[in-house]
Amino acid sequence: MSGPLAGPSTLRDIIHPQFHQNNFPEELYIKTDLGIKLDKDDQICRLSLTPTGCPLGPLHCPLRHTTPSSQNFQPPKQLPTHPRDRERLATVCKHWLRGLCKKGDACEFLHEYNLRRMPECWWFAKYGYCSAGDECLYAHPKERRVECPDYKRGFCKLGPLCPRKHVRRVACQLYLTGLCPLGPECPRGHPKPDLPSPKDYEPPSPPSNRDLGPPPPGYGRYADYDRGTLGGSTISQGNATIGSNGPRRNLDDVLCFKCGEKGHYANHCRNRNVPGNRGGLDRSKRLKIHNMGWQKTFSLPKRSKGCHLITDHVLAQISEGIKDVKVGMLFLFIQHTSAALSINENFDPDVRKDMDMALDTVVPETLQWRHTDEGPDDSVSHTKATLVGSTISVPVTNGTLNLGTWQGIYLTEFRHVPHTRHVVATVL
């Protein structure tokens, strides 16, 4: 009698189920609508996507018969041909790490703190020592430890004595629920129910004694590539010499960008910096300071205690200063300690009465005030001015104040006796 698990049967589906052939509606939505790659390219059966189909069928085929995502079967990204572009993708700028890189986006190196993008140091790989130490631009690989498979599953009985690496990860709630759309790229932990294989406990193989080749050149690293090689030949043309490194400029024609003299390059210059225009560049425009501000002090007429709308009065005073401003800011400062400025409702007059009532409730005159040299409303006015504030800022767009539809500028007067108020308007 042949084995019950030899051919297709219900018992075989129970003992050795083929879960990888299950296709769910959620999976199709994640692939087509969200554009997330759930399966690797080598996990999908390419024959099942052809008109003839897979000859093994979904029952016997070890690969998945499913609809691929738009991210599957994409051609590999072409690596740049120029070595500078390749190094920019793999090397972090050492000056940017110290905040000293002045090239910005024009820098040939990567401006992000990514240890994985730093190439291996040739000297450290060759001799196991680098004189630059921690200041070296390239990576100094340390001894690698294999990740502990027991700790990855959830618990390691050896604890801190374990010779393997313990990487802490928070369990992925989506994976525990049943499906994580990020798959292996998820930063959270995906605990597996299966026991680790003996191969998972083996230490990593030692680095091979590969031929590292010559050390990388320092200054002029890309000179051979940029100038082109001529097979080691040397050709003389006047004062210039063309060799394996391409044409070299005559030093008599070289202008130093540091001191402005000819005969040497700036990286070999021993003279002091000379300010001014050097190297054919006009630097005077960058040093010129323009007076972009406008300022005016104006007075507000006397008003009794309460909140008053002064938007039209302010516009009449500052129209000259904002008429040519495309994008800017208006700053209003009141030069008093018993009045304040605010921005609020400009339509219903009852709002201003409610604000005055609320301020009287918060800061009543019935308290035991000590400073009453100018009347019982002396310290009361100072306290209210502190709460409301003496400065407001309003954006200016195309020569007009960019206030909201229901916004207006308030003068909040806290004195019972009317006073003339002075306001300083500054446009930047």
Write the CATH number for 325. Answer: 2.60.120.460
Q: Does residue 370 sit in the same domain as residue 421?
A: yes
- Whether 300 maps to a domain, the answer reads yes
Q: Does residue 354 sit in the same domain as residue 403?
A: yes
Q: What is the pLDDT of residues 38-74, one digit of tens each?
A: 888 888 898 888 888 888 888 778 888 888 888 888 8
Distance of CA 426 to the CA centre of its chain: 34
CA torsion sign for 315, 318, 323, 327 is negative
E strands, 192-336, are: 235-237, 240-243, 246-248, 294-303, 306-309, 327-334
Q: Does residue 47 sit in the same domain as residue 153?
A: no
Q: Does residue 298 sit in the same domain as residue 423?
A: yes
- Whether 235 maps to a domain, the answer reads no
- Tokens at 297, concatenated: 């002090």
Q: What is the pLDDT of residues 334-363, one digit of tens each?
A: 999 999 999 999 889 899 999 999 999 999
Q: Does residue 317 sit in the same domain as residue 375?
A: yes
Q: Residue 87 belongs to a domain with what CATH number?
A: 4.10.1000.10
Q: Does residue 89 sit in the same domain as residue 122?
A: yes
The model carries a pTM of: 0.36
Residues 6+ apart with CB under 8 A from 362: 387
- The number of domains in the chain is 5
Give the residues across from 344 on adjacent strands: 408
Q: Which of 201, 218, 238 is the last residue before a domain boundary?
A: 201
Q: Does residue 23 sit in the same domain as residue 36?
A: yes
Q: What is the pLDDT of residues 96-117, one digit of tens each?
A: 776 787 777 667 777 777 766 6
- Whether 234 maps to a domain, the answer reads no
- Whether 107 maps to a domain, the answer reads yes
Q: Does residue 261 sit in the same domain as residue 371?
A: no
- Whether 243 maps to a domain, the answer reads no
- Whether 239 maps to a domain, the answer reads no
Closest CA to 375 of 421, 420, 415: 415
Share of the chain above pLDDT 70, in %: 72
Q: Does residue 299 sit in the same domain as residue 423?
A: yes
Q: Does residue 336 sit in the same domain as residue 279?
A: no
- Whether 209 maps to a domain, the answer reads no
Q: Which of 289, 317, 346 is the last residue before a domain boundary?
A: 289
Closest CA to 201 of 150, 143, 144: 150
List C-alpha distances in Å: 123 to 128, 210, 285, 304, 404.
7, 14, 46, 82, 64
Q: Does residue 285 sit in the same domain as residue 310?
A: no
pLDDT of residue 3: 65
- Whether 379 maps to a domain, the answer reads yes
Q: Does residue 131 sit in the same domain as residue 172?
A: no
| Domain that includes residue 118, residue range | 83-135
Q: What is the pLDDT of residues 220-233, one digit of tens each?
A: 344 444 444 434 44
The residue-averaged pLDDT of 291-298 equals: 82
Q: What's the half-sphere exposure (Cβ side, CA atoms, 13 Å) at 418?
A: 7
Most confident of 140-154, 231-245, 286-300, 319-333: 319-333
Classify burial at 119, counting beta carbons within 10 Å of its beta carbon; exposed 0-12, middle 13-18, buried 19 or more.
Answer: middle
- The CA-based angle 179-50-183, given to 5 degrees, is 15
Residue type at 290 in one-letter notation = H
Tokens 């400073």 — which residue? Answer: 371
pLDDT of residue 233: 43
